[in-house]
Amino acid sequence: MISKQQTLFERIGGDQAITELIHKFYDRVVADPELKPFFKNASMEKIRRMQREFFSAALDGPITYTGKPLGYVHHGRGITKHHFALYVGHLIQALEKININDQDVQDIISRINTYADEITGTAGSMG
């Protein structure tokens, strides 16, 4: 008998958990004085929709990310590794708020960290 291993998306509670995560997460992000300026002229409705897609796809869910490539969307915005670390810190706190277990939090952060260079524009740079 072969049992199908659950995806990370399924383990954390699927679409309902992702939707709750994005809500709590972006409430934290836009309240951060260092991150808030990046969202000044942005449609938070669109960002939340795209982030729902992004996180669902990144965690092996059934939803496809339909947005532009991350490097393109974030290019020239001045996002540094420091900003990315703040972002990830808020993500960890939001995951804890929705009661995601420690192993799944680590797995999610590991996946999100794979996008750091694209978002900060440091892919292929030395240092």
Fold of 10-120: Globin-like (1.10.490)
pLDDT of residue 122: 82
What pTM did the predictor assign? 0.89
pLDDT of residue 124: 52
Q: Where are the domains of the chain?
A: 10-120
Q: What's the start-to-end Cα distance of the chain, in Å?
A: 49
Reading the chain (127 residues) residue by residue, the pLDDT tens digits are 555 799 999 999 999 999 999 999 999 999 999 999 999 999 999 999 999 999 999 999 999 999 999 999 999 999 999 999 999 999 999 999 999 999 999 999 999 999 999 999 886 544 4
pLDDT of residue 91: 98
SS3 assignment for 41-68: CCCHHHHHHHHHHHHHHHCCCCCCCCCC
Rounded CA Rg of the chain = 15
pLDDT of residue 127: 42
> CA 107, CA 59: separation in Å to the nearest integer?
9
